[in-house]
Amino acid sequence: MPSLNRIRRGATIGLAVGAVAALATGCAGPATSDGSGTSDAADISGQIIWADFGGPTNESRQIAYFDGFIEETGVDVVSTSIEDAVYYPMLEGDAGDYDVFQVSTADILAYPDHILEIPEGARGDLIDESLQPYVVGGFYIGVAQGWLTDTFADGGPQDWVDFFDTEKYPGKRAWPGSPGFFDGSYEIALLADGVAFEDLYPLDMERATAKLDSIRDDLVFYQSYPEVQQLLSSGSVSIAVSVTGQFKALQNAGQDVTVQWNGAFQALNGFVVPEMANNPDAVMALAEWVNDPENQAVFTERTGYGPVNSAVFDHLSDEVAENVVNSPDHADGLLQWNEEWRAENKDLLLNAYTEWLAG
């Protein structure tokens, strides 16, 4: 069982020796034709198919990364909505449509054999060293509860126990309704049911499901992250559990939103280049562009997601820096998933959540 301190490391995710060894020995080498791990911009052309979850986060990537890269290199970056049916086979080595696509840390640990290394200049120094060679466009997300501030005049939920208290904090709750978005659903339920954080793993799925069932009638299930903004702004729900970028998008639109950082989960997200990518050299050049601290600072300012390049903080105002996910100000309240356990039990989690959503 990982210790509490090891799991709550702040800006990096600790990994056991076995997981590190799996990455070190399992992943493929650099994608460039000469094996150098770098790409000459003069030699790249065509297009890159970039797959993510869309919405305001993708719009921020377009502004922070893609527009400038397209202008500089002439390589078009075409964004598309990520589909499980495409990216899972590519993680297993099959051909597919994507040149680069979004994954969780658990995905990298679960499917290490067919991911290409990226150039050293593209690697984020705030990422655990074992993962740095494989994560393109990394960023730290938060999974938290948030609400329009005036919903609760006396202050909203202080922890996950409060989230499940529908009498003290009335109203519907926006909750992940797509199987792939199970995020921290089981961990949240167990924490709300009184399980200590250090005792979460292995997850007691039966107990967690029973806790989720206790407020099922109060849940409004969303199928995409941007729906969270509509549900909150329309008053259809009083509280939402989502990735914190959706709350930041509402704030950017002028809404007063409270994010409860206490008990929020911080997780590394990013993108990988599959060995069957159609234009790997161009992706490697884009990966270096994305890791540039000035470009990454624009993305951080717009989304509130945490940077993976420490130099980004030199380009952020104090106000922005204090409110990103991996700000030191949040370190005491943030939790980390046990990514190793989640990787080993990915099918269990996905199948169980799919069954639970079906009722």
Same domain, 135 and 20: yes
Query: What is the rounded average pLDDT for all residues in the chain?
Result: 87
The yes-or-no verdict on residue 167 having pLDDT over 90 is yes
Same domain, 150 and 230: yes
CATH of the domain at 27: 3.40.190.10
Same domain, 55 and 106: yes
Same domain, 235 and 343: yes
10 Å CB burial of residue 301 (0-12, 13-18, 19+) is: buried
Residue 283 confidence (pLDDT): 98
Same domain, 134 and 173: no
Same domain, 348 and 241: yes
Residue 56 confidence (pLDDT): 83
Rounded Cα distance, 356 and 3, in Å: 30
Return the amino acid letter for 171: G
| From 38-47, 54-63, 253-262, the region with the lowest mean pLDDT | 38-47
SS3 state of residue 7: helix
Contact 20, 108 (CB under 8 A): no
Number of H helices, E strands in the chain: 16, 9
The tens digit of pLDDT for each residue in 315-339 reads: 999 988 887 888 877 777 889 899 8
Rounded Cα distance, 86 and 108, in Å: 16
C-alpha angle 190-193-194 in degrees, rounded to nearest 5: 95
Higher-confidence position of 163 and 112: 163
Residue 346 confidence (pLDDT): 85
Same domain, 111 and 26: yes
Q: Quick check: is 288 in a domain?
A: yes
Q: Quick check: is 154 in a domain?
A: yes
Same domain, 212 and 347: yes
Q: ω before 202 within 30° of 0 (cis)? A: yes
The tens digit of pLDDT for each residue in 66-109 reads: 999 999 999 999 999 999 899 999 999 999 999 999 998 888 88
Provide the domain count of the chain: 2
Q: Quick check: is 7 in a domain?
A: no
Single out the residue of 264, 229, 269 nearest to residue 143, CA to CA: 264
The tens digit of pLDDT for each residue in 280-319 reads: 999 999 999 999 999 999 999 999 899 999 999 999 999 8
Residue with token string 């490697």: 284
Residue 13 confidence (pLDDT): 35
Task: Count CB-CB contacts under 10 A for residue 158.
Answer: 12
10 Å CB burial of residue 156 (0-12, 13-18, 19+) is: buried
The yes-or-no verdict on residue 45 having pLDDT over 60 is yes
Same domain, 255 and 183: yes
Domain, as residue range, for 130: 13-139+269-326
Rounded Cα distance, 137 and 56, in Å: 16
10 Å CB burial of residue 20 (0-12, 13-18, 19+) is: middle
The tens digit of pLDDT for each residue in 208-266 reads: 999 999 999 999 999 988 899 999 999 999 999 998 889 988 998 999 999 999 999 99
